[in-house]
Amino acid sequence: MDKNKLFLGFMTAALGLFLLISPETFISFFVILLGIAAVIDGVFILAATRDLIVDPQYKKIVTVRGILSVVIGLLAVLLPKIFISVAWSAMAYTLAVYLLISACLQFYTITKLHRNGIMIRQSMIEVFTSLIIAVVLFIIPSDSIGVFIIRLFGIVLLASGIGLVFMQWHNRPEVIIPDSVETVENKENEIQNNEE
């Protein structure tokens, strides 16, 4: 039995149960995590990618994108603590709009990077990820659809976790405890005694 897989199964089932019981809390947690990620991304953009190519227009767009990322991220983390009831939905929509704008700005910078012979695969993955998360954020805050999707995801995670735990338990090695243990030496002595 793989203890790591067993632990993963329990954790997956617990997360699924959490999504089923309290989808609203998950949305809040998700928004805060995205806010933290946006701040980190903004700092990275300002520190590392602004000077990749010598182009004033590129530098301006990357700077705007980095500052926007930091500001929206900080709002996502701090604002819901101040205005708890309305802020979660508002911040989810704000993050979704930010991700769409950021993807468009980044798509423009990708064309500039590509023309200068810089690898763009990572940036393309980031653009598509931003678009997918934006769509999720537009869907999640609406009470009926968002909660339904989160609960559905919770059911899938709960079932997967329980299935993984059951498989690990079912495939555990069989341990047989013998009634008595005889060594070869004891067996030889017993045979000699019988012969005498």
> Residue 72 above 80 pLDDT?
yes
The vertex-162 CA angle with 158 and 163, nearest 5°, equals 115
pLDDT tens-place string over residues 15-41: 888 877 877 777 777 778 888 888 898
Among 82-91, 127-136, 159-168, which is the least confidently predicted range?
82-91
DSSP one-letter string for 37-55: HHHHHHHHIIIIITTSS--
C-alpha to C-alpha distance for 31 and 37, rounded to whole angstroms: 10
In percent, how much of the chain has pLDDT > 70? Answer: 77
Give residue 175's pLDDT band: very low, low, confident or very high (50, 70, 90). Answer: low
pTM of the complete model beyond 0.75: no
Q: Kindly state the DSSP code that residue 2 receives in the 8-state scheme.
A: -
Q: Please provide the average confidence, as pLDDT, over all residues in the chain.
A: 77
> Do 36 and 73 touch, CB atoms closer than 8 A?
yes
> Residue 132 above 60 pLDDT?
yes
